[in-house]
Amino acid sequence: MVKQYILNEKLYNTGNYKETEKRYQKLIISSVKEKNYNIAALSYNIIGRIYLNKGNYERARNYFEKGLELGKKSKQKSGAGINQGFIGSIYHDLESDDSRKYITDAISLVKESEDDIFKDLVLGHLYTKLGFSTIHHKDSITMRLDYLFTALDYYKKIPKKYFNNNRYFSQTYTNIAMLEYKVKPADTVISHLKKAGYYNKYAETPYIFGFIGTELARNYLRKKDYDSAIYYGNIALKYLSIGTHKQKILETYQYLSYAYENTKQHEQAQQYYIKFKNNEDQINKDKLKSFVQIYKENSTKKDKENFREQIINFFFYFLSALLIIFFILRKKADKISVASGNEVKIEKEVSESTSIPGNKIEEAISYETESQILKRLDKFEDKLHFLQKGITQGKLAAQVDTNVRYLSIVIKKYKAENFNAYLNTLRIKYIIGKLKNDKEYRRYKVRCLADECGYFTVASFTKIFGEITGYTPSAYIAFLNDSDL
């Protein structure tokens, strides 16, 4: 069964997730039948990782919990430990402070394992997870790097009879480079990434080349070597597309957009920026959905009160991330800049753009005209004119000194699906901020809230509020009040 597990994992590394899941499901059935609970638990972990890579946190966690439950039945604790560690990793991604404890407890559990060929491998994985956990300490980067080098030491111990060490060396040097980005010169980081690439040539793990390519692109941006950044960014996308690594693909879109912008290739920069925003929004929505589901499942546990505080903070963090893109405009559309301290960031936010076949815009508008319309929309938002009742697309077009057709194209390209979606998002974001920050607003009747943000009827306000937040206004207010207890 060990041999079959390892063969299946090789298939997983090729990115053939559908067949991988099918084979591991069969292995789970046979492993449980023979009471080899550790192999069954490890198999559940791989299936969970498949869904984690896809951004389906809820389903991933379900598989990790099944693996943890089965793994506890075995004297070999690597299966239980790896699943507990990945549950901790999910909590980290969802901004929960519980993540670190899950991982450290998992490490303690695995260290007690008996006659376990997976022990050192799993400890390497867990120390890697610990290296990317939240550490509130002034020397947090140094501490994280220490954890990654500890992971490397464990990977050196794994039996070569069963495992390809080169793959784990490659992964670890890539992870080290990701952390060193914040504290080491670009050339030092690039040297570690090339070392990772050397090991991966013998590891037969395509997606790791994708991770390496993304990090090389990021570091060549630091050196202002934009051509190299474009080269490695495109290599990264080629390999990342083999599997489903949404977060890394997202980062790569961001770096490519910036690199193309700085080589005056504005059309390509715009295309990658739109891809970046669309993917970022979807990832945030998936996280929010998963966090709400996890909260519901944990609502009967002793730590309910702590969890309430976490969900409210997470809710606003991601809801704001999804909605703020409709507010901030840029002097130059699609321009991305490198922030101080060599961090790449988005200089100005644009919003979700509807996908158009071939990335063609419905009608050509000059770059200067687009910029002028965006600037005027900025004033429209800053002055809260969207709260006016009876505002129409025609009236807004007149306010920003353009025609309805041009306004529609700009909104669809940079703001929202259409004018109504744009206006509704501005209004609901406004009232959410009032409800969160001013408790007096929570005492208002729903019809007063509707009137405050520009709606003629309670019914239309309630319907739109629910579509955007997932709550009715009354339920949302109750949720806020309950969270304050």
Annotate 236-262 with DSSP letters as a single string. HHHHHTTTT-HHHHHHHHHHHHHHHHH
Task: Count CB atoms within 10 A of the CB of residue 247.
Answer: 15
Sorted by sequence, the CB contacts under 8 Å of residue 6 that are 6+ apart come out as 162, 163
Task: Please tell me whether residues 246 and 115 are part of one structural domain.
Answer: no
| Residue 425 within any structural domain of the chain | no
CA contacts within 13 A on the Cβ side of 237: 16
Q: Which domain holds residue 313?
A: 164-352
Q: Give the per-residue pLDDT at 24.
A: 94
Specify the CATH number for the domain of residue 444. Answer: 1.10.10
- One-letter amino acid for residue 49 of the chain: R
Number of domains in the chain: 4
Does the pLDDT value for residue 178 go beyond 50?
A: yes
| Residues 205-237: tens digit of each pLDDT | 777 888 899 999 999 999 999 999 999 999 999
Query: In the chain, what percentage of residues exceed pLDDT 90?
Result: 38
| Residue 113 within any structural domain of the chain | yes
Classify residue 184 by its DSSP letter. S
At residue 164 the predicted structure's pLDDT band, cuts being 50, 70 and 90, is: confident
Mean pLDDT of 29-48: 95
Task: Please tell me whether residues 256 and 206 are part of one structural domain.
Answer: yes
Q: Look at residues 33, 32, 130, 131 and name the one whose alpha carbon lies nearest to residue 81.
A: 130
Does the pLDDT value for residue 143 go beyond 60?
A: yes
Specify the CATH number for the domain of residue 59. Answer: 1.25.40.10
Burial class (CB in 10 A: 0-12, 13-18, 19+), 268: middle
Task: Please tell me whether residues 169 and 278 are part of one structural domain.
Answer: yes
Residue that terminates a domain, selected from 415, 442, 457: 415
Task: Please tell me whether residues 121 and 218 are part of one structural domain.
Answer: no
Length of the chain, in residues: 485
Contact indicator for 122, 78 with CB cutoff of 8 Å: yes
Does the pLDDT value for residue 11 go beyond 50?
A: yes
Does the pLDDT value for residue 336 go beyond 50?
A: no
Look at 437 and 316; give whichever has higher pLDDT: 437
β-strand partners of 338: 344
Mean pLDDT of 273-290: 70
Residue that terminates a domain, selected from 106, 138, 162: 162
Mean pLDDT of 78-99: 84
Q: Give the per-residue pLDDT at 331.
A: 42
| Residues 465-476: tens digit of each pLDDT | 888 877 788 888
Query: In the chain, what percentage of residues exceed pLDDT 70?
Result: 78
Task: Please tell me whether residues 56 and 174 are part of one structural domain.
Answer: no
| Residue 11 within any structural domain of the chain | yes
Pick left, alpha or beta for residue 291 (phi over 0 → left; psi -120 to 50 → alpha; otherwise beta).
Answer: alpha
Chain-centroid distance, C-alpha 371: 30
| Residue 313 within any structural domain of the chain | yes
Q: Give the per-residue pLDDT at 273.
A: 86
Residues 245 and 243: their CA atoms lie apart, in Å, by: 6
Contact indicator for 427, 453 with CB cutoff of 8 Å: yes
Contact indicator for 307, 338 with CB cutoff of 8 Å: no
Contact indicator for 17, 244 with CB cutoff of 8 Å: yes
Q: Give the per-residue pLDDT at 150.
A: 94
Task: Please tell me whether residues 3 and 20 are part of one structural domain.
Answer: yes
Task: Please tell me whether residues 211 and 294 are part of one structural domain.
Answer: yes
Does the pLDDT value for residue 39 go beyond 90?
A: yes
Task: Please tell me whether residues 192 and 76 are part of one structural domain.
Answer: no
Q: Give the per-residue pLDDT at 232.
A: 93
Q: Give the per-residue pLDDT at 141.
A: 81
Task: Please tell me whether residues 113 and 186 are part of one structural domain.
Answer: no
Q: Give the per-residue pLDDT at 368.
A: 77
| Residue 5 within any structural domain of the chain | yes
- Retrieve residue 428's tokens: 């609901």
- Retrieve residue 6's tokens: 């390892």
Task: Please tell me whether residues 227 and 370 are part of one structural domain.
Answer: no
Using CA of residue 56, residue 93, residue 47, residue 201, what is the dihedral sign? positive
Q: Give the per-residue pLDDT at 471.
A: 77
Look at 314 and 34; give whichever has higher pLDDT: 34
Q: Give the per-residue pLDDT at 321.
A: 56
Classify residue 338 by its DSSP letter. E
Look at 317 and 341; give whichever has higher pLDDT: 317
- Retrieve residue 316's tokens: 């606003």
| Residue 423 within any structural domain of the chain | no
Task: Please tell me whether residues 346 and 451 are part of one structural domain.
Answer: no
Mean pLDDT of 99-113: 91
Residue with the two structure tokens 């079959």 = 4
- One-letter amino acid for residue 153 of the chain: D
Task: Please tell me whether residues 108 and 120 are part of one structural domain.
Answer: yes
| Residue 288 within any structural domain of the chain | yes
Contact indicator for 125, 175 with CB cutoff of 8 Å: no
Q: Look at residues 396, 458, 401, 405 and name the one whose alpha carbon lies nearest to residue 426.
A: 396
Residues 262 and 340: their CA atoms lie apart, in Å, by: 17
Q: How much is the mean pLDDT over the chain?
A: 80
| Residue 105 within any structural domain of the chain | yes
Is this model's pTM higher than 0.85 or not?
A: no
Residue that terminates a domain, selected from 100, 130, 162: 162
